[in-house]
């Protein structure tokens, strides 16, 4: 059974340092170090990579917050000051991915840097960062699932339970499910795919999108706080689009590689 110790890690005078912020900062630090190491292995300039990555990370955080606020505008429209209160939680991964990839890709393209290679380098750190960052949901008592009596059930304080489920004490720890899935994705990408697929720029990142989205689709079905697009869960729709996009992208990359290998012989 899981029991959250609270959102605040430490107090420094009147300043509260929250677990959510600490975990995000730690994920960024670990991801940056891992990306620098991979850049060196690939013969890329790690400083150039970090410069682009920092811009992409900032854009990703803004995009993740904007995406979440957009889907909860009734709440944030009534209390606009809460839009900047990211320490309370409320970052949508898909919004962060969209903004980070677009902004990072534009910056890399304008600087004549290998954007697809940078995405491949970023993919394993992204999965690892998500595995770590999901524990911020645990400390904030958010992003949990339906009621359950399983041995690994999550206790949720009464103040954090939805009104229609107030009589239940224990819920699916969907943050844990996604954290473990993201960790597995990281292991697959880092240990098995990053070197094997290096000859296909963009392939590792496409694998990340597809693998992450498969797990997210099923885990999202257990959550009770999903962002909704009409009668549909927005994260599930986005996951399906990303799965289809990753499969199509990988097929195109491999087909192009086969054509390139065959062209000298045919000529």
Domain ranges in the chain are 2-257
CB 76 within 8 A of CB 82: yes
At residue 6, the pLDDT reads 78
pLDDT tens sequence across 9-54: 888 888 888 898 899 999 999 999 999 999 999 999 999 999 999 9
* pLDDT band, very low/low/confident/very high, at 259 (cuts 50, 70, 90): confident
- Tell me what the pLDDT averaged over the chain comes to: 94
Whether residue 99 has pLDDT greater than 60: yes
For the whole model, what pTM was predicted?
Answer: 0.93
pLDDT band of 4, cuts 50, 70, 90? low
Per-residue pLDDT tens digits for 174-189: 999 999 999 999 999 9
Q: How far apart are CA 217 and CA 194, in angstroms?
A: 24
Task: Please determine, for residue 267, whether its predicted confidence score (pLDDT) is greater than 70.
Answer: no
């Amino acid at each position: 059974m899981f029991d959250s110790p609270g959102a605040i890690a430490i107090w420094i005078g009147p300043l509260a340092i929250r677990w959510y912020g600490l975990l995000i900062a730690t994920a960024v630090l670990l991801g940056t170090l891992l990306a620098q190491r991979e850049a060196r292995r690939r013969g890329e300039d790690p400083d150039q990579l970090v410069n682009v990555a920092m811009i992409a990370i900032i854009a990703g955080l803004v995009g993740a917050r904007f995406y979440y606020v957009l889907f909860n505008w009734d709440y944030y429209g009534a209390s606009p000051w809460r839009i900047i209160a990211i320490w309370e939680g409320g970052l949508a991964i898909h919004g962060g991915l969209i903004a980070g990839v677009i902004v990072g890709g534009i910056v890399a393209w304008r600087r004549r840097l290998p954007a697809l290679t940078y995405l491949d380098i970023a993919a394993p750190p992204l999965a690892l960062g998500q595995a770590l960052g999901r524990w911020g949901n645990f400390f904030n008592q958010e992003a949990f699932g339906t009621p359950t009596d399983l041995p690994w059930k999550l206790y949720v304080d009464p103040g954090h339970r939805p009104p229609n489920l107030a009589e239940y004490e224990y819920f699916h720890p969907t943050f844990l499910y996604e954290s473990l899935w993201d960790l597995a994705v990281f292991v697959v990408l880092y240990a098995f795919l990053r070197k094997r697929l290096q000859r296909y720029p963009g392939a590792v990142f496409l694998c990340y999108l597809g693998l992450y989205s498969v797990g997210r689709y099923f885990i999202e079905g257990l959550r009770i706080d999903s962002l909704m697009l009409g009668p549909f869960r927005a994260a599930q729709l986005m996951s399906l689009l990303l799965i289809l996009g990753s499969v199509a992208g990988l097929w195109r990359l491999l087909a192009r590689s086969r054509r390139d290998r065959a062209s000298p012989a045919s000529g």
